[in-house]
Amino acid sequence: MEATLQTIFLLGFAAYAARHALPAYIHKAAWCIMNCRTAVLGGHVEVCPEGHFERNHYNSCRHRICPQCAFLQVQKWLVRQQARLLACDHYHVVFTIAHELNCLWPFNDKLMTDTLFNSARATILELLADPKYLGAKPGIIASLHTWSKTLILHTHIHCLVTGGGLKDGRWLNLRYDYLFPFAVARVLFRAKVLEAITQALDKEKLHLPDHLTDPEVRKIIKKAWRKKWNVHIREKYSHGEGVLSYVARYLRGGPIATSRIAKIEDNKVTFHVGRNKKQLMTLTIEEFLRRYLQHIPKPGSRVIRSYGLYAAASKKQLRHCHKLFGKTLSEATPPIHWQDLLESAFSQATKPHDTPWLCPICGKRLITGRRIPPRRRNRPNAAPPPMWEVQSCPVT
């Protein structure tokens, strides 16, 4: 049995959905994962221009949580962002909220997401606006991650921050060989997050879990005030591409890559949970799906956001910064073909099956032949009822 996320969903999602009330967007994501690159979605035939070889190439579902669709979309995003990166030092900063607040996340995901992003952005901009550290406007690219290696809820934000900034048309570098003190950052970040949550609770904009009352939530907030929050500032990079690649890895494809799934047997899933491949965790398919489904973002949610010099509204300032570094910011990137990306990624391949864009007989690039129509457009029996019959509720 092939150890893939698609196999896990095919084996267990129908039974899981029958026992749990799931929102429509969860059903849609599951349907996409189960039918990705199958005849259900249709496709086309790739043929050798000399007539030596042909094969069916089925369409991807293109859902952002599907790991089979991640590579091309991530690489396209990465090419665009790398063209925007300034030729300066960059820092990797990770902001993590206290785990006591995790109970609020499933019922207030949009509010909590906005709070986390806004608090991280405000912390960085406020500290770097201080002449003691920089006194200028930096560039920030932030990415939300809601999972840990074991797929439990572990909400944190990865930020790529320039090691300098723009002030009055001049580029200023950091005064010291560090971004800012992490002890100061974690106190400021904690205050901004908890003050925002408290205000939402006071204005009755915070949805409370069924098992918690208003006073109990306030006790949780009070407990979070007493904790030392985790703000991790990693060493500086002479460029930001390494951190950007790390962020891009989780832009699409969900919380677990296919390479991390070791085996599926006896209704259980075993997967790698550490840097050392000897560290494994085994869960039942039902528990694996429960953990996995809580990380599927709602439609329209923005899990990557840019601020400061990298914000969409700062194009003129970013273009000026590139000129200061002797480069030109391109307004548009040329179209990227999937075969070119594969050829670049697998340039060291020597075996025919390692070069799927080439004919295994003559080595010429395959071309698109006839189209394969989709077999069916309706969803399988595990599909949800009509949208208006499905209530929005957290994954349970």
Q: Which two tokens stand for residue 79?
A: 């090419």
Residue 225 and residue 236: Cα distance in Å, rounded?
Answer: 30
Query: Phi, psi (5° rounding) for residue 45?
Result: -100, 130
Q: Which two tokens stand for residue 271?
A: 């997967």
| Among 40, 30, 26, 27, residue whose Cα is nearest residue 10 | 30
Residue 162 and residue 135: Cα distance in Å, rounded?
Answer: 13
The 10s digit of each residue's pLDDT in 258-278 is 889 999 999 999 999 977 778
Query: Phi, psi (5° rounding) for residue 131?
Result: -60, -20
Residue 139 and residue 226: Cα distance in Å, rounded?
Answer: 31
Give the number of other Cβ atoms within 10 Å of residue 194's Cβ: 20
Q: Where are the alpha helices (DSSP H) in the chain?
A: 5-19, 24-35, 70-84, 109-128, 182-202, 214-226, 241-249, 285-293, 315-324, 338-345
The reported pLDDT for the residue numbered 340 is 64
The reported pLDDT for the residue numbered 379 is 52
Number of continuous H segments (helices) and E segments (strands) in the chain: 10, 13
**Mean pLDDT across the stretch 130-145?**
95
R_g of the chain, CA atoms, integer Å: 24
The reported pLDDT for the residue numbered 350 is 46
CA of 70: how far to CAs of 61, 151, 249, 255, 369, in Å? 10, 18, 8, 12, 24
Looking up tokens 């990306």, which residue turns up? 341
Q: Which two tokens stand for residue 269?
A: 């899933």
Residue 199 and residue 121: Cα distance in Å, rounded?
Answer: 19
The reported pLDDT for the residue numbered 193 is 97
Residue 343 and residue 349: Cα distance in Å, rounded?
Answer: 9
The 10s digit of each residue's pLDDT in 367-387 is 888 888 887 655 544 443 333
The 10s digit of each residue's pLDDT in 76-127 is 888 888 888 898 999 999 999 999 999 999 999 999 999 999 999 999 999 9
- Per DSSP, 215 falls in state H
Q: Which two tokens stand for residue 358?
A: 């080439």
Residue 99 and residue 106: Cα distance in Å, rounded?
Answer: 13
The reported pLDDT for the residue numbered 165 is 96
**Mean pLDDT across the stretch 162-171?**
94
Long-range CB pairs of 313-319, under 8 A, 24+ apart, other chains included: 314/139, 317/137, 317/166, 318/84, 318/86, 318/139
Give the number of other Cβ atoms within 10 Å of residue 293's Cβ: 23
Apex CA 145: angle with CA 130 and CA 134, to 5°? 10
Residue 382 and residue 290: Cα distance in Å, rounded?
Answer: 16
